Amino acid sequence: MTARGRALVILTGLAVFVAGWAVFVSRWSGPVGQGAGVAGAHAADLDAFRDELVVWAPGGFSDPEVGKVRDSTRVAAISAVRTGLLAAASGRRGYGVIPVEAMAVDANAYTGAAGRPGRKLADMLPKGAVLSRTGAKLRKLKPGGRLRLAGGRTVSVSGVVDDALLGGYEVALDRNLARPYGLQRTAYLLVKPRGPVDGLQRELRRLLKGRRLRFLTPGDRPFVRGGDGVLPLAQVKARFGEFAVPGLGRGPPNPAWRRANLVTRKLPILGPVRCHRLVIGDLGRAMADLERQALRGLVDLGAFRRQGGCWSSALLRADGTLSRHAWGIAVELPVTTPDERLIRIMARHGFTWGGTFARPDAAHFEWVGQGA
């Protein structure tokens, strides 16, 4: 395949992905799986973050890089969002930790970025942990409760807000309160432009030369946050169940979760595959479509098996986030060259393509929902 051909395939995949998110947001009305359920409002519904530009890059930003952006004359205001995992206590022997996706922010800066819907956060954040509605359901907590962390530590719950106000994260902490928990690396920036947006983008590319910057606006996705277009961890848990692990970054998920959620079935083309019970049907239907269209040659079966297939006990990706293979909702389909027919068929059955990620992974397909 020529360089031009590869570029066309990637652009096609990106178009399919963007269209898929629109269908997913408009049609999805609730979790397909077990668990707490998903809080409904998105940023657009709340009219939150309306004037903000999300700026992110693989690996996040160092403090000096944040300073360069902050000091730009094209930046009217900035909120640096630091993210990571908290180790919530599970109470399970041998599996004492539940990974919780958390964010740490300056209360005033983040409240300003969120706009009127986020004003309540100005009082909540300095007083303790603010939980998203989905996060509160998962933890079975209300304002005034205590978030139990591994090692015997607890944090007071100062409030519960719509998921959209926290960018889909389960827990938000004021930056000062978050210092003991390792939430130090800035994952993305919320920037209010001074002047035209395209001028700001050019300026940031100049200031952060060599970084693979991505820019998003509130209408691009259901949640205003950095990162590739996959489900936030809270949404994964609500659909597919929450598990405990021996420690952050160490697996596998606790046996009860594995017994309840993982199944092995023989699928067209792939043969026996171990996946989440709520996703394996979509994967099987996608493979059946490939077979009907005489496209089984697009999948390297040997490489699929060598690279772990669907479910894997490995928890952490290279960037420190949790791998969706731990839930059995992502699949590696190694191909010699990307093929738009495979991308379209997988998207039809709910799988977004990793070739559009900031760090492209042409073999990776991850379930995000109908019409991906």
- Cα separation, 289 vs 266, whole angstroms: 15
Q: Are residues 184 and 329 in the same domain?
A: no
- Structural domain contains residue 352: yes
Is-contact 130 12, C-beta < 8 A? no
pLDDT in the model for residue 15: 47
- Structural domain contains residue 36: no
pLDDT in the model for residue 22: 38
Q: Are residues 206 and 293 in the same domain?
A: no
Chain center to CA of 245: 19
Predicted confidence (pLDDT) at residue 38 exceeds the cutoff of 50? no
- Cα separation, 190 vs 75, whole angstroms: 10
Confidence class for position 302, pLDDT limits 50, 70, 90: confident
- Structural domain contains residue 171: yes
Peptide bond into 180 cis (omega under 30): no
CATH code for the domain of 330: 3.30.1380
Predicted confidence (pLDDT) at residue 40 exceeds the cutoff of 80? no
Q: Are residues 87 and 58 in the same domain?
A: yes
Predicted confidence (pLDDT) at residue 17 exceeds the cutoff of 50? no
Is-contact 33 239, C-beta < 8 A? yes
Residue 62: give the domain boundaries: 43-235
Confidence class for position 355, pLDDT limits 50, 70, 90: very high
Q: Are residues 154 and 222 in the same domain?
A: yes
Q: Give the end of a domain, one of 205, 235, 265.
A: 235
The string of DSSP letters for 274-295 reads EEETTTHHHHHHHHHHHHHTT-
Q: Are residues 154 and 205 in the same domain?
A: yes
Most confident of 43-47, 180-184, 249-253: 180-184
* Other Cβ atoms closer than 10 A to 193: 20
Residues shown for the chain = 372
pLDDT in the model for residue 372: 57
- Structural domain contains residue 180: yes
Q: Are residues 220 and 325 in the same domain?
A: no
- Cα separation, 76 vs 199, whole angstroms: 13
Least confident of 31-35, 78-82, 100-104, 262-266: 31-35
- Structural domain contains residue 372: no
Q: Are residues 93 and 129 in the same domain?
A: yes
Q: Give the end of a domain, one of 235, 267, 301.
A: 235
Confidence class for position 305, pLDDT limits 50, 70, 90: confident
Residues 6+ apart with CB under 8 A from 78: 66, 69, 70, 109, 189, 190, 191, 192
Q: Are residues 256 and 330 in the same domain?
A: yes
Q: Give the end of a domain, one of 235, 260, 277.
A: 235
Residues 6+ apart with CB under 8 A from 126: 107, 174, 176, 177
- Cα separation, 147 vs 227, whole angstroms: 26
Average pLDDT over residues 284-311: 91
pLDDT in the model for residue 4: 53
Q: Are residues 47 and 150 in the same domain?
A: yes
- Structural domain contains residue 332: yes
Q: Which two tokens stand for residue 21?
A: 């998110």
Q: Are residues 57 and 20 in the same domain?
A: no
pLDDT in the model for residue 343: 95
Q: Are residues 323 and 214 in the same domain?
A: no
pLDDT per position as a tens digit, 210-256: 999 999 998 888 899 999 989 999 999 999 999 999 998 788 899 99
pLDDT in the model for residue 318: 67
Question: What is the β-pairing status of strands 171-174 and 53-61?
Answer: unpaired
Residue-averaged pLDDT of the chain: 88
pLDDT in the model for residue 336: 74
- Structural domain contains residue 93: yes
Number of domains in the chain: 2
Q: Are residues 104 and 200 in the same domain?
A: yes
Confidence class for position 127, pLDDT limits 50, 70, 90: very high
pLDDT in the model for residue 9: 46
Is-contact 343 309, C-beta < 8 A? no
More confident residue, 39 or 92: 92
- Structural domain contains residue 246: no
